[in-house]
Amino acid sequence: MIVNPGAGEGDSVPRSNVEAGLAEPLAHEVNFPPVQNGVDYLLSVVDHLTAEEQPRPRDLKYAVLHLQGAAEVLLKARLQLEHWSLVFKDPGQATRTRFEAGDFESCTTAGAVARLKDIADVDVGDRAAKSLAILSRWRNALQHYGLRANARAVDTRAAQVLDFLIAFVHEQLLPALPDGESATVASELVRVGDNVRTIKSFIETRLKRLADELKDCKDRTLECCFCGEATLVVGDTGPLSCRFCHTTWANPNHALTDYVEAYDVNFDSNFQTCPNCTEYALLVDGARVVQAPEERRSLCFSCGSAFDDLAECIDCLNTYISITDGDLGLCGVCVQAS
């Protein structure tokens, strides 16, 4: 039995009369079993994103809220199949009585993803995990103080999460459902998938148009921390801007901060002064550029300079370009001051 694992970060968990073993539901009763509930959220998301050629701000708002709702319900439904206690915020405090009553605080989306990977051995790729984390932050912003995000970034992240959740339901949840519910959910997923292909078609068409202008700058092109596409080119004149979603940063330091937060790069040890332009915008051993996506490189978000041989000054701790002969372990400023 899968009980409703909650539709919000830390929410308590209501259950339907049928799931609680009570009487059949009345005609006017709300009754969405967890997986059907999650897939219904997905249907709402694609309806909002494809209702018009250019989704309105209100459409994007509800797409974010409902997609986060879908992610939480579906991820936690799979956790329940592993063990009912895993949907608790603190499994060590879980009791069967509170679980059956739906009276507990559930884990966060990030917690659910970590438990799926570490305990249930479910494959959640890095790209999907990042998009889920960003979606969760957007949802929390909307719930608590409002959100300002680029429409194309929302479209693209939504497509990535929808893609992941469709496959997740097919692989992880459908086999555990009764035949009747499984058939209903599978039918609804077909509709979701058709709409996702429409969204992805727009994204792919735009990326093809950008391919020519990006082909000669792969050594300084990164994945945008908002839309997730590899279309953020650093080192150009003027404000730094993603060429796909057009998210713009007036200051390269702000872009670097967003990148570090989105991709879990250690902020303190990797954020340094660039030896070339002297801007405090150098990411040391943390940038993944299109030219070499599996490597972590040192890249300046201001001038676009890349560095292979950097050393840390033993005096001021700033980075500098190492000299092979006679290197004292000091940067040029500290050498002159000594």
pLDDT confidence of residue 22: 41
Q: Which two tokens stand for residue 227?
A: 């839309």
How would residue 127 be classed by pLDDT, with cut points 50, 70 and 90? confident
Mean pLDDT of the region 247-255: 90
> What value does the mean pLDDT of the chain take?
83
Indicate if 50 and 67 belong to the same structural domain. Answer: yes
What is residue 146's three-state secondary structure? coil
pLDDT at 116: 96
User: What residues contact 338, with CB distance under 8 A and at least 6 apart?
Assistant: 315, 330
Are 59 and 190 members of one domain?
Answer: yes
Q: What percent of the chain is modeled with pLDDT above 90?
A: 38
Specify if 67 maps to a domain: yes
**Domain shared by 231 and 165, yes or no:** no
| Token output for 78 | 């799979």
Tally of domains within the chain: 2
Q: How far apart are CA 150 and CA 129, in angstroms?
A: 20
User: What are the contacts of 113-118 at 24+ separation with CB within 8 A?
Assistant: 113/75, 115/79, 115/82, 115/86, 116/75, 116/78, 116/79
153 belongs to a structural domain: yes
Q: Looking at the domain assignment, is residue 270 inside a domain? A: yes
Give domain status of residue 313, yes or no: no
Range of the domain at 299: 218-307
Residue 226 confidence (pLDDT) above 80: yes
Please check whether residues 151 and 247 belong to one and the same domain: no
In the structure, what pLDDT confidence band is assigned to residue 150 with cuts at 50, 70 and 90?
confident
Strand spans (E) along the chain: 221-222, 232-233, 240-241, 248-249, 271-272, 282-287, 297-300, 306-307, 310-312, 319-321
**Are residues 232 and 109 part of one domain?**
no
User: Are 162 and 239 in the same domain?
Assistant: no
- Reported as a pLDDT band with limits 50, 70 and 90, residue 101 is confident
One domain, residues 224 and 189: no
Q: Are residues 280 and 260 in the same domain?
A: yes
Same domain, 82 and 163: yes
Give the pLDDT of residue 41. 95
Q: With respect to residue 320, please indicate whether it lies within any of the assigned structural domains.
A: no
Q: Based on the domain organization, do 61 and 143 belong to the same domain?
A: yes
